Structure 1
């Protein structure tokens, strides 16, 4: 059962992201059939998100590089949990998810997804 506190925090996060954020897309690439082969199939999921640049003090050149973005993605209405390997489109740029934090404090309610995105090449 969802903890009412985390449901309230999820609603607050959704409200702030909707107010200050933008529409974006989280794209999951489904791998090709292992026997028949083929190309990966991209499946887009619309999302509301806020892309933020990392402060210079966090950029170390290895874990966090110049150009990496910290992206807050609303959990409300998103049918997947963004994970490593997914692509987030924000500000007209595609970012590959390098790391992610689902912020699921009670193990049930996703409050907000915070991911580290790196320009996809």
Structure 2
């Protein structure tokens, strides 16, 4: 059951990301058909997001590396749930998603997607 509190939090997150964020995209690579083969296809999903560099105290060199970005993505209007293997375009740079947190506190409503982007 959807909790109205999380719907309000989702609306607040969308408003703040729209105000302070930028337009970007989440790209998902679909592998070719196992039987017929072919080329993999990339599907780009427009998104509103806020990229932020990690504070130095969080960078440990293994889990979080120098250059990694913490990217907040509005869940409103996004057709997919960003996950490891997807690529986020922010600040004109492509970041591979190294870690993803959908922030579904009630198990249903994604308040905001927080991903760790890595530019290898």
Residue of structure 1 in register with 2:56 after alignment:
56
> d(CA) in 1 for partners of 2:100 and 2:85?
10
> d(CA) in 1 for partners of 2:52 and 2:101?
15
Aligned partner of residue 96 in structure 1, secondary structure: strand
1:1-20 mapped onto 2 (5 Å cutoff)? 1-20=1-20
Residue of structure 1 in register with 2:66 after alignment:
66
In structure 1, the gaps of 5 or more residues are none
> d(CA) in 2 for partners of 1:9 and 1:76?
11
Using the size of structure 1 for normalisation, the TM-score is: 0.97
> d(CA) in 2 for partners of 1:109 and 1:28?
22
Residue of structure 1 in register with 2:93 after alignment:
93
1:29-40 mapped onto 2 (5 Å cutoff)? 29-40=29-40
RMSD over aligned CA atoms reads 0.8
Q: List 4+ stretches of structure 1 deviating above 2 A.
A: none
In structure 2, the gaps of 5 or more residues are none
1:37-48 mapped onto 2 (5 Å cutoff)? 37-48=37-48
Q: Deviations over 1:19-69 (max 9, x none)?
A: 000000000000111122222100000000000000000000111000000
Using the size of structure 2 for normalisation, the TM-score is: 0.98
Aligned length: 120
Aligned partner of residue 14 in structure 1, secondary structure: helix
